[in-house]
Amino acid sequence: MASRHRMHSAAELQELGEKLRNARLKAGLTQVEVGQAIGRDQSFVAKNERGERQVTALELRDLCRLYRTSASAILESPPLRD
């Protein structure tokens, strides 16, 4: 049975990770501080920022609250090109 979920490319995960990293830096937080705030370790934050793991919706919610930004700001994509 085929999966109904679209697989995201490495480039998409890396782009999301870069946006998360930028939001964290803008909030003035270290990876260690973020990990402590959300009950995870620094390597969890690093893997998200490198695009090595997919971020769940609930994790994104928690990170956005911590970074004082919106999920839409993080998920926004550049316009499609013709």
- How does pLDDT run along the chain (82 residues), one tens digit per residue? 555 666 789 999 999 999 999 999 999 999 999 999 999 999 999 999 999 999 999 999 999 999 999 999 999 876 656 5
How many domains are contained in the chain? 1
Contact yes or no for 50/18 (Cβ under 8 A): no
Structure tokens at 68: 């004082």
Q: Do the domain assignments include residue 21?
A: no
Q: Do the domain assignments include residue 11?
A: no
Q: Do the domain assignments include residue 23?
A: no
Q: Do the domain assignments include residue 7?
A: no
Cα–Cα distance, 61 to 9 (Å, whole number): 22
Overall pTM surpassing 0.75 (yes/no): yes
Q: Report the pLDDT value the prediction gives residue 27, as an integer from 0 to 100.
A: 98
Structure tokens at 60: 């994104």
Q: How does DSSP classify residue 82?
A: -
Q: Do the domain assignments include residue 59?
A: yes
Cα–Cα distance, 46 to 3 (Å, whole number): 28
Q: Do the domain assignments include residue 14?
A: no
Q: Do the domain assignments include residue 18?
A: no
Q: Do the domain assignments include residue 66?
A: yes
Domain extent, residue 62, equals: 40-71
